[in-house]
């Protein structure tokens, strides 16, 4: 299969008043056409920053890519000219944000914001662009699209707004979509519908999808493979079903154990002890060691490499074998 996106050894840091925050420290992942990669992790794990670096929308300053390369359809994005990079954005790679209410411009109608994609990238007239906007709204199943195309974001419900966000990302049928927590801000009842719509459109258009989330429940249904991030590194990658059966990293195991389950009713809920490290002071050795139930002396001194656990599976844990078996 064609590799659509290939991120190699990416390092991103934020130079702030209080010091240098190492947000991403050597991330590798790849996505193929038609494939869904779920990137999992707590807030501050670097999952969104990686995505912003891929999209080229990192706030800079203070954010800087200090090392690594990003290949998209074979081209090295980081060496592309700014204008060429811009033409890719929105047209061939697009992004869906978490909070559609703040991500949509409050003073422009949704029709104008959708149509803008066609005006800018395809050179359509405003009238044609508006017609395409109505089509898009129909496609993401917004009722009475024709009447509502001139409405403003605040006039839609949360679910409808996120559909508009999706429509905007899908507008030019890009090859890659990055969805950053697309359902987190929504009511539970609406979450499933929006996720379903996203998965359906992805299948239809055979797009690569990077789904950034902290919700393991969402992942199981739609993802092909998973990358778990912790303190700016990928600690485990695996095909989705294997990871649920037997995680190879204590952090992943902790995440899975902390999902409440009906059959454990009455028992105390599991929680990973401690807090994620400050990105200004990542502990030496394995970043997870202060919170890890299996940590040994070696974890405090040596940073574990990404061990190949099985075909298409890797874990950055000195004790991956023990974790797999336990």
Partner 1 sequence: MGRYVIRRLLQMIPVFVGSTFLIFVMVYALGDPVAALFGDRAPDPATAAQIRRDLYLDHPLWQQYTHYMAQIFQGNFGTAFTGQPVLELMGSAWPLTIRLTIVAIVVEAVIGIILGIVSGLRRGRSVDTGVLVLTLIVVSIPTFVSGYVLQFLFGVKWGVVNPSVSPAAPFNELALPGVVLALVSLAYVTRLTRTSIVENHRADYVRTAIAKGLPRRRVIFRHLLRNSLIPVVTFIGTDVGALMGGAIVTERIFNIHGVGYQLYQGILRQNSPTVVGFVTILVIVFLVANLLVDLLYAVLDPRIRYA
Q: List residues near partner 1 by CB under 8 A.
A: 55, 57, 59, 86-91, 94-95, 97, 99, 102-109, 116-117, 120-121, 152, 154-155, 168
Distance CA(243)–CA(310), nearest Å, equals 12
Query: Helix or strand or coil: residue 290?
Result: helix
| Residue 211 token pair | 């789904």
Half-sphere exposure of 294 (CA within 13 A, CB side): 18
Token look-up 């703040």 returns 102
Which H or E element spans position 315? strand 313-315
Least distance to partner 1 from the beta carbon of 108, Å? Answer: 7
CA distance 213 to 147: 34
Helix, strand or coil, per DSSP, at residue 2 = coil
163 vs 291, which CB is nearer to partner 1? 163
Smaller CB distance to partner 1: residue 175 or 236?
A: 175
Q: In this complex, which beta carbon is closest to partner 1, that of residue 65 or of residue 248?
A: 65
CA distances from 5 to 50, 231, 306 (A): 12, 22, 20
Task: Name the minimum Å distance from CB 91 to partner 1.
Answer: 6
Q: From CA 13, how far away is CA 279, in angstroms rounded?
A: 9
Residue 266 CA to residue 248 CA, distance in Å, equals 28
| Chain centre to alpha carbon of residue 261 | 25
Q: Pick the closer one to partner 1 by CB: 94 or 286.
A: 94
* CB-based contact 50:33 (threshold 8 Å): no
Of residues 39 and 231, the one with the C-beta less far from partner 1: 39
- Considering the complex, what minimum distance in angstroms separates the CB of residue 103 from partner 1? 4
- Residue 153 Cβ vs partner 1, minimum distance, rounded to whole Å: 9
164 vs 317 by CB, closer to partner 1: 164
Give min distance, CB of 251 to partner 1, in A.
Answer: 29
Q: Note the maximum CA span of the chain.
A: 67
Helix (H, G, I), strand (E, B) or coil at 237: strand
CB of residue 120 to partner 1, shortest distance in Å: 6
With respect to partner 1, which residue has the nearer C-beta, 115 or 277? 115
Tokens of 172: 């030019």
Q: Which is nearer to partner 1, 102 or 264 (CB)?
A: 102
């Amino acid at each position: 299969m064609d590799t659509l996106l290939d991120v190699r050894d990416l390092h991103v840091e934020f130079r702030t008043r209080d010091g240098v925050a190492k947000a991403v420290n050597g991330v590798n992942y790849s996505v193929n056409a038609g494939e869904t990669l779920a990137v999992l992790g707590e807030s501050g794990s670097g999952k969104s920053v990686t995505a912003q670096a891929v999209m080229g929308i990192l706030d800079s300053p203070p954010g800087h890519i200090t090392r690594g390369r990003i290949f998209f359809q074979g081209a090295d994005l980081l060496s592309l000219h700014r204008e060429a990079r811009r033409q890719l954005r929105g047209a061939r790679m697009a992004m869906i944000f978490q909070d559609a209410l703040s991500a949509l411009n409050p003073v422009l109608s949704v029709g104008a914001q959708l149509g803008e994609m066609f005006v800018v990238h395809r050179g359509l007239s405003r009238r044609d662009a508006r017609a395409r906007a109505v089509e898009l709204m129909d496609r993401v199943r917004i009722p009475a699209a024709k009447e509502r195309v001139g409405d403003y974001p605040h006039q839609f419900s949360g679910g409808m707004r996120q559909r508009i966000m999706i429509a905007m990302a899908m507008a030019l049928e890009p090859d890659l979509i990055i969805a950053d927590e697309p359902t987190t801000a929504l009511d539970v009842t609406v979450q499933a519908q929006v996720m379903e719509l996203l998965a359906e459109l992805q299948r239809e258009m055979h797009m690569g999808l990077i789904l950034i989330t902290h919700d393991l429940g969402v992942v199981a249904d739609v993802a092909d493979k998973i990358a778990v991030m912790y303190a700016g590194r990928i600690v485990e990658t695996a095909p989705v079903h294997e990871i649920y059966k037997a995680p190879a990293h204590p952090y992943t195991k902790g995440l899975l154990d902390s999902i409440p389950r009906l059959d454990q009713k009455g028992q105390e809920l599991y929680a990973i002890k401690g807090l994620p490290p400050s990105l200004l002071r990542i502990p030496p050795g394995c970043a997870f060691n202060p919170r890890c139930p299996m940590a040994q002396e070696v974890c405090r001194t040596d940073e574990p490499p990404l061990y190949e656990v099985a075909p298409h599976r890797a874990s950055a844990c000195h004790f991956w074998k023990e974790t797999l078996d336990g």
